Amino acid sequence: MRLNDFRVLTFDCYGTLIDWETGLTAALRPLLERADADAGDALERFAQLENAQEAATPGMRYPELLAEVHRQLADQLGASMAEEAHARFGASVADWPAFPDSAEALQYLKNHYQLVILSNVDRDSFAASNARLGVAFDAVYTAEEIGSYKPDLANFRFMLDRLAERGVRKDDILHTAQSLFHDHVPAKQIGLASAWIDRRHDREGSGATAPVEGAKYDFRFTSLAEMVRAHQAELATSQP
């Protein structure tokens, strides 16, 4: 299997293109200081609470869901926070930074693939992030319009159905993501090839994403820039 076997890259955004752990940690700072809590522990707690809330309220918009998770996290950490603090955390997605390699890598990949987003956010939040990424995606599918959150297979079926209407076959697609839990496990369940962007390769634990054992994927890169270099190497070897 080669990267050049595909013509569409479907991307998770947060954790893959946008540095959501840096963004989350910055947005959590007032709570961490109030609770005198460790950021690593708070991110692991966040992962558990977020997953549970997404499963319990699949139709809740992401800013409201984040605010509720922040409220629950504050309760767990024994810190009293004003409602404004919860709402501010819920609106923080627009402030989360892109990974340093994301914009340049996407500009390169845009020359070789259709680029599609499948994200667990709402349209407004993604629009703010998209401005940081500097590329026009060919399609954007969010939890807001689908009515559920990954790893629900409904999100992947929705994307595949919409792309089929555009003439894209499943075999044309390489799903590209950081989260084994949200993306690679369901991608394999539904029969998609996938590329793991292992952004946490130099850190222990799974951070703000639920841990997974034995997840399968077809490619592994430690950054999007490394994926670009692999693609360039393929092109070089295929030239006469």
Average of pLDDT values for 48-54? 96
For 171-213, the pLDDT digits (tens) are 999 999 999 999 999 999 999 999 999 999 988 888 888 888 8
> Tokens 């946008």 belong to which residue?
18
- The full set of domains in the chain, from first to last, is 3-19+97-238 (3.40.50.1000), 20-95 (1.10.150.750)
Q: How many CB atoms lie within 10 A of CB 233?
A: 11
Position 98 scores a pLDDT of 97
Find the mean pLDDT for residues 63-70.
Answer: 97
Burial label for 197, CB within 10 Å (0-12, 13-18, 19+), is buried
pLDDT at position 58, please?
A: 97
Using DSSP, state whether 114 is helix, strand or coil. strand
pLDDT surpassing 90 at residue 50: yes
Tell me the pLDDT tens digit for each residue of 76-130: 999 999 999 999 999 999 999 999 999 999 999 999 999 999 999 999 999 999 9
* Alpha carbon distance 75, 55 (integer Å): 20
Q: Are 224 and 101 in contact (CB under 8 A)?
A: yes
- Which pLDDT does position 240 carry in this prediction? 62
Checking if the pLDDT of 238 tops 90, the result is: no
Asked whether 169 and 4 are in contact (CB, 8 A), the reply is no
Each residue of 132-148: pLDDT tens digit?
999 999 999 999 999 99
- Cβ atoms of 137 and 116 within 8 Å: the answer is yes
Say whether 95 is catalytic: no
Amino acid identity of residue 45, one-letter, is: R
* Rounded mean pLDDT, 27-44: 94
pLDDT band at 233 (very low <50, low <70, confident <90, very high): very high
Which residues, other chains included, contact 29 with Cβ-Cβ below 8 Å and sequence gap of 6+?
none
CA distance readout (Å), 1 to 105, 157, 193, 194, 213: 21, 23, 10, 11, 23
Average pLDDT over residues 218-235: 97
What residues pair up with 176 in beta bridges, in sequence order?
11, 195
Counting beta carbons within 10 angstroms of the beta carbon of residue 65, is it exposed (0 to 12), middle (13 to 18) or buried (19 or more)?
buried
Per-residue pLDDT tens over the stretch 11-34: 999 999 999 999 999 999 999 999
12, 19, 122, 183: the active-site residue: 12
Please give the pLDDT value at position 210.
Answer: 85
Average pLDDT on 215-236 reads: 96
